[in-house]
């Protein structure tokens, strides 16, 4: 259906509505990218950066934001709440003053067992056959051959003969004696002990659940969550999720605090989370494949297939997924990545992950900006290749929805993307309240970018994690014609839409009952 835009724009039926506000403008980065590279040049894969001492100053955050950071992650394992508060406020000021749209994520510490900073040099070598004491005693300073462990109950359930493995294999120790809560051990696999290195316990080649009594969310985590609510973050990533109840519990807490708009992400980093993976994905608003701790709990050679399977399941169940940890680890120290790192992150992009994440590369590394541009360039290159190879046509998508209105929305989005690809439209516009149709369009990984117009600031921030979606906040009217004309004008003013461009339009802003079938629409417009 081809419509004459000029005719629509001058039609008398157009109501007087408030003009689109400043926030309705395209974010500064998409606008610049669009001008430089055009619609098809826009990056689809989203980028998450962990903020640490190396990038926390406003100027440093601005560099990351202008280079494409979509989400700033704060790892609550480290530093003080005051420090994190300052970062959150700096990011929000940047958004307001410089027109960025960076969302904020806090990541809980969770109940993990790790080595306490030993106060010595940044790493300590454990020699083969050397005798060590793992203790819960609290002391300051460095003692040779003693390792301080953070959790008082860490040795419960551990017996003589068990193995303590540091960071998934940096070093291993055999338990030779239990002395109260402490363990005497012999190093059987020499290596390095880094500050805060994580510990796992193995018996007869099998991982033990060494902290069965510990809740997924500790008292400190709940305090950090309250902090996140009061600072108005957009995402909470929950570490060491065991089952769907962990997520449901947090979501009902958020609802009780009228903060249900905060999205809850489940981090897949333990054996139990893998056993309950489908339920966890269904209960959460998104997933992080946390390969760091996953590598402590499962043999490393299983991680690639777990990543691919979790990524596939997330798209199937229409939840955004982040592939995280060690993507460009060598860039913490060096200005260029290894070829293997580029191959690894490109593989995640080829699997159509929604987002990639930097950890130490941005938090403590010397080359955060360079690492981010490696992610940008490698993602764009792989996205282009996937388009040219027509890889999305290989994607099989089983039906997701159950109720009739949901099935209709899903079918509209599947067909709309098919149509957009076949017609080679320049852009897809979707008008959306809660982001549902924007995510259903994204799920199909279309060639054209999806501009999602919403009147909810939390929907806008939430959509920051979805592949190929550029969210904008605008006042929406019940009059669809008005919305279309205003947003087309908005995009024309910024120079994003030009004469001859074609746009496919989808909407879910009418009531979402079966009665709304008629008002959910797909149409294609050519700009004159």
Ligand X SMILES: C=C(OP(=O)(O)O)C(=O)O
Residue numbers at the binding site for ligand X (CB under 6 A): 75, 77, 107, 239, 269, 290-293, 324-325, 359
- 216 lines the binding site for K ion (CB under 5 A): no
From candidates 33, 107, 269, 508, binder to K ion by CB under 5 A: 107
Instruction: Name the minimum Å distance from CB 109 to K ion.
Output: 5
| Selection from 470, 499, 497 nearest residue 30 by Cα | 470
Applying the rule CB under 5 A, the residues between 237 and 256 that interact with K ion are: 239
Instruction: Name the minimum Å distance from CB 87 to K ion.
Output: 15
Backbone angles phi, psi at 363, to 5 degrees: -70, -45
Kind and range of the H or E run holding 375:
helix 368-388
Instruction: Name the minimum Å distance from CB 293 to K ion.
Output: 9
Q: Looking at 235-243, 287-295, 327-335, 407-415, which segment touches K ion (CB under 5 A)?
A: 235-243
To the nearest 5 percent, what fractions of the chain are helix, strand and coil?
Answer: 40, 20, 40
- 465 lines the binding site for ligand ADP (CB under 6 A): no
Burial class (CB in 10 A: 0-12, 13-18, 19+), 316: middle
50 binds, among K ion, Mg ion, ligand ADP, none (CB under 5 to 8 A by kind): ligand ADP
Cα of first residue to Cα of last residue in the chain, in angstroms, is: 15
Distance (Å, rounded) from C-alpha 44 to C-alpha 354? Answer: 8
Distance (Å, rounded) from C-alpha 506 to C-alpha 134? Answer: 60
Site string for Mg ion, 127-156 (x = CB under 5 A): ------------------------------
Residue entry with tokens 């709990």: 297
Instruction: Name the minimum Å distance from CB 374 to ligand X.
Output: 19
Q: Looking at 48-56, 146-154, 260-268, 497-505, which segment touches ligand ADP (CB under 6 A)?
A: 48-56
Assigned token pair, 374? 């490696």
Measured in whole angstroms, how far is the alpha carbon of residue 495 from the centre of its chain? 30
Distance (Å, rounded) from C-alpha 338 to C-alpha 358? Answer: 15
290 binds, among ligand X, K ion, ligand ADP, none (CB under 5 to 8 A by kind): ligand X
Assigned token pair, 429? 């516009």
Q: Looking at 2-10, 71-79, 184-192, 431-439, which segment touches ligand ADP (CB under 6 A)?
A: 71-79
What is the number of residues in the chain? 528
169 binds, among K ion, Mg ion, ligand X, none (CB under 5 to 8 A by kind): none
Site string for ligand ADP, 77-96 (x = CB under 6 A): xxx-----------------
Q: Looking at 130-138, 231-239, 310-318, 384-392, which segment touches K ion (CB under 5 A)?
A: 231-239
Instruction: Name the minimum Å distance from CB 412 to ligand ADP.
Output: 39
From candidates 292, 304, 405, 494, binder to ligand ADP by CB under 6 A: 292
Kind and range of the H or E run holding 206:
strand 206-208
- 359 lines the binding site for ligand ADP (CB under 6 A): yes
325 binds, among ligand X, Mg ion, K ion, none (CB under 5 to 8 A by kind): ligand X
From candidates 19, 35, 53, 385, binder to ligand ADP by CB under 6 A: 53
- 75 lines the binding site for ligand ADP (CB under 6 A): yes
Instruction: Name the minimum Å distance from CB 363 to ligand ADP.
Output: 4
Backbone angles phi, psi at 209, to 5 degrees: -75, 95
- 290 lines the binding site for Mg ion (CB under 5 A): yes
Q: CA quadruple 255, 259, 260, 265: dihedral positive or negative?
A: negative
CA angle 96, 324, 317 (to 5 degrees): 85
From candidates 293, 354, 447, 473, binder to Mg ion by CB under 5 A: 293
Applying the rule CB under 6 A, the residues between 181 and 220 that interact with ligand ADP are: 196
Q: How far is CA 340 from CA 92, 326, 336, in A?
A: 35, 11, 12
| Selection from 272, 293, 288 nearest residue 167 by Cα | 293
Instruction: Name the minimum Å distance from CB 340 to ligand ADP.
Output: 19
Which of 39, 154 has the CB closer to ligand ADP? 154
Assigned token pair, 432? 């959306």
Q: Looking at 89-97, 223-231, 282-290, 463-471, which segment touches Mg ion (CB under 5 A)?
A: 282-290
Q: Which residues, listed in sequence order, are joined to residue 453 by a DSSP beta bridge?
A: 431, 472
Instruction: Name the minimum Å distance from CB 73 to ligand X.
Output: 9
Contacts for 384 with CB less than 8 Å, ≥ 6 apart: none
| Selection from 243, 248, 276 nearest residue 260 by Cα | 248
351 binds, among ligand X, K ion, Mg ion, none (CB under 5 to 8 A by kind): none
Assigned token pair, 296? 């402590």
Instruction: Name the minimum Å distance from CB 382 to ligand ADP.
Output: 24
Among all residues, whose Cβ is closest to Mg ion?
293
- DSSP string of 416-453, one letter each residue: HHHHHHHHT-SEEEEE-SSSHHHHHHHHT--SS-EEEE
Instruction: Name the minimum Å distance from CB 288 to ligand X.
Output: 6
Contact between residue 217 and residue 204 where contact means Cβ atoms under 8 Å apart: no
| Selection from 360, 355, 330, 354 nearest residue 342 by Cα | 330
Which of 107, 501 has the CB closer to K ion? 107
Total residues binding Mg ion (CB under 5 A): 4
Binding site for Mg ion (CB under 5 A): 269, 290, 292-293
**Contacts to ligand ADP by CB under 6 A:** 50, 52-53, 75, 77-79, 196, 292, 359-360, 363-364
């Amino acid at each position: 259906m081809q419509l004459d835009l000029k005719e629509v724009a001058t039609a008398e039926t157009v109501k007087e509505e408030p003009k689109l506000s400043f926030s309705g403008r395209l974010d500064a980065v998409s606008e610049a990218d669009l001008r430089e590279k055009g619609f098809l040049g826009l990056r689809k894969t989203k980028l998450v950066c962990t903020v640490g001492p190396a990038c926390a100053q406003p100027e440093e955050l601005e560099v990351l934001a202008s280079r494409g950071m979509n989400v700033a992650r704060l790892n609550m394992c480290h530093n003080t709440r005051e420090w994190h508060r300052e970062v959150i406020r700096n990011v929000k000021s940047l958004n307001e003053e410089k027109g960025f749209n960076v969302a904020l994520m806090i990541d809980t510490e969770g109940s993990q067992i790790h080595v306490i900073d030993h106060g010595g040099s940044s790493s300590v070598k454990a020699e083969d056959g050397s005798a060590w004491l793992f203790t819960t005693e609290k002391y300051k300073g460095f003692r040779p051959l003693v390792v301080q462990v953070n959790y008082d109950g860490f040795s419960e359930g551990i017996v003589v003969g068990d193995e303590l493995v540091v960071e998934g294999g940096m070093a291993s120790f055999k338990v030779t004696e239990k002395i109260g809560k402490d363990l005497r051990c012999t190093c059987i696999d020499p290596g390095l002990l880094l500050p805060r290195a994580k510990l796992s316990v193995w018996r007869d080649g099998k991982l033990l659940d060494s902290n069965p009594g510990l809740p997924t969310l500790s008292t400190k985590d709940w305090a950090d969550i309250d902090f996140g609510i009061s600072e108005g973050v957009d995402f909470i990533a929950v570490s060491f999720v065991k089952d769907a109840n962990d997520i449901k519990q947090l979501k009902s807490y958020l609802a009780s605090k009228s903060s249900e708009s905060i999205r809850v992400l489940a981090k897949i980093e333990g054996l139990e989370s893998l056993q309950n993976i489908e339920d966890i994905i269904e209960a959460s608003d998104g997933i992080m494949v946390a390969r760091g701790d996953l590598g402590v709990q499962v043999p490393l050679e299983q991680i690639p297939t777990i990543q691919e399977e979790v990524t596939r399941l997330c798209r199937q169940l229409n939840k955004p997924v982040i592939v995280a940890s060690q993507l460009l680890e060598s860039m913490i120290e060096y200005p260029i990545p290894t070829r293997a790192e580029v191959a690894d992150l490109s593989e995640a992009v080829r699997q159509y992950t929604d987002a990639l994440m930097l950890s130490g590369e941005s938090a403590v590394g010397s080359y955060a900006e360079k690492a981010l541009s490696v992610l940008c360039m490698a993602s764009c290159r792989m996205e282009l290749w996937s388009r040219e190879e027509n890889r999305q046509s290989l994607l099989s998508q089983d039906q997701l929805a159950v109720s009739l209105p949901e099935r209709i929305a899903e079918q509209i989005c599947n067909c709309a993307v098919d149509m957009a690809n076949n017609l080679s439209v320049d852009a897809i516009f979707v008008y959306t309240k809660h982001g549902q149709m924007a995510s259903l369009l994204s799920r199909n990984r279309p060639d054209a970018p999806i501009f999602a117009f919403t009147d909810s600031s939390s929907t806008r921030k939430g959509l920051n994690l979805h592949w190929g979606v550029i969210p904008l906040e605008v006042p929406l009217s019940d009059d669809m014609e008005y919305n279309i004309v205003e947003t087309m004008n908005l995009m024309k003013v910024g120079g994003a839409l030009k004469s001859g461009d074609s746009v496919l339009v989808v909407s879910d802003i009418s009531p979402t009952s079966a009665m709304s079938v008629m008002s959910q629409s797909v149409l294609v417009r050519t700009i004159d």
